[in-house]
Structure 1
Amino acid sequence: MIAISKSQLALRNGQDKPEIWIAFQGKVYDLASSRLWKSGRHYEHWAGQDLTEELKSAPHTAHVFDKFEPIGYLK
């Protein structure tokens, strides 16, 4: 896996670049294939950032990431 900086992650927000990336527990995922993340937004959450803390208040568990392969890790 490749190392991805917070600034690289921030640019992959579905707005500045077409990629829709988020970080969770140190891993970076590309969620562009998810219909729930169109335009880089999922309810009140935005792509391009680390969502580890935000998942604690989500109505689902971390298993939602099981269907996505990590593309890198957050350095």
Structure 2
Amino acid sequence: MKEYTRAQLALRNGQDREEIWCAYKGIIYDVSTSRLWRNGHHYEHWAGQDLTKELGDAPHTERVFERFNAIGKLQKEHSN
């Protein structure tokens, strides 16, 4: 699976490009087909980000990502 940086993920926010992507637990999902992600946001959540920490506040479980295609991995950040 192709790896993408956080900067590359951020460009898929529904504003800069047509793709609407979100990451969860290191996997990047294409949520472009969801009407709930139209314009790059879903309630208080924004596309182009890692939503792992935010899912705890959602009214659904991580199984929601089963509806979407996993298109890549989020590259791990390197600490200096």
Higher percent of residues as helix: 1
RMSD over equivalenced CA pairs, Å? 0.6
Alpha-carbon offset, residue 2 of structure 1: 0.4
Match of 2:63 in 1: 63
Aligned-pair CA distance for 1:68: 1.3
The C-alpha deviation readout for 1:23-71, integer Å capped at 9, x for no partner, is 0000000100011100101000000000000001111000101111210
The alignment-based identity, stated in percent, is 60
Residues paired across the two proteins, number: 75
Q: Which residue of 2 aligns with 1:18?
A: 18
Mapped partners of 1:67, 1:18: distance in 2 = 19
SS class of match (2:28): strand
Q: Which runs of 4+ in 1 moved over 2 A?
A: none
Equivalence for 1:48: 48
